Amino acid sequence: MRFMIIQNWFGSGYNERRSNIFAAQPNLGHKAIAELEKYVQVVVLTQNIDGLHQKAGSSEVLELHGSIVKISVQFVIIKIK
């Protein structure tokens, strides 16, 4: 039996994007929302996948589309007859 391993599309193409995101810094909006937590309960619901709300200090962030920061490379193994 032979096996073929296919790396999914999160592999090498996303490493460059992830590097850019790791270098990005929160803007004043991210920081203002994090600062608001000192006075009231805040839950951030975001479509962003960059983790900048967490980087700014927000503690309760719900990411609708997941996080590019937390992805893992997965492999598909196909059995060839």
Q: Residues 55-81: pLDDT tens digits?
A: 999 999 998 877 766 655 555 556 666
Tell if the pTM clears 0.75, that is, is over it: no
Known active-site residue 65: yes
Tally the domains of the chain.
Answer: 1
Tell me how far apart the terminal alpha carbons of the chain are, to the nearest angstrom.
Answer: 6
Q: Of 2, 38, 65, 70, which residue is the catalytic one?
A: 65
Residue 70 burial (C-beta neighbours within 10 Å; 0-12, 13-18, 19+)? exposed
Q: Of the candidates 52, 61, 47, which has an alpha carbon nearest to the alpha carbon of residue 21?
A: 52
76: domain range? 2-80
